Structure formats: C-alpha cells, structure tokens
Amino acid sequence: MKEVSPTRTSSTEIKHYFDNYSTPPIPPIWMVTSCMNFGELLRWIKNTKSTPVKLRRGAEH
C-alpha cells in the first residue's frame, strides 16, 4: 500500500490524525480504507496475500 500523507487526501479524519498523533506513523486501517474509492479497496483486498486473513476479517464483519 502506498504511504498515506495528509497532502494526499482531503479527509478530515486523516488530517486530524496527522495533526494530533505521531505514533503509529500511519493512521488506523479504518481511516485509510475510508479514503479509498471502491476500485482501490477491491485492489487492496485482492492483493492481500493471506487468504486466512481475508476470511477472518470478513467473518468478523
């Protein structure tokens, strides 16, 4: 996944994260995925290498 920076998105949540937190260096996954369009999200899911991770994540939601 490409690095997320506050200049790449206009998301208020992402900007707030970078303005107020330094650890961890990237925002939570729910923030990052909320900034993705559907195609980017599908590509990210397809590139998830571990099928058990995909299945476990899907089963929880």
What does pLDDT average to in each consecutive run of 10 residues of the chain (61 residues)? Answer: 50 89 89 89 82 63 54
Distance CA 53, CA 41 (A): 16
**DSSP 8-state symbol, 36:** S
- The predicted structure's pLDDT at residue 53: 63
Domain boundaries defined on the chain:
12-60
Distance CA 18, CA 21 (A): 6
- The predicted structure's pLDDT at residue 7: 47
- The predicted structure's pLDDT at residue 32: 87
Tokens standing for 42? 């599908």
Distance CA 10, CA 50 (A): 31
Task: Please tell me the pTM assigned to this model.
Answer: 0.52
- Measured CA to CA in angstroms, residue 50 lies from 14, 31, 55, 61 at distances of 27, 22, 9, 17
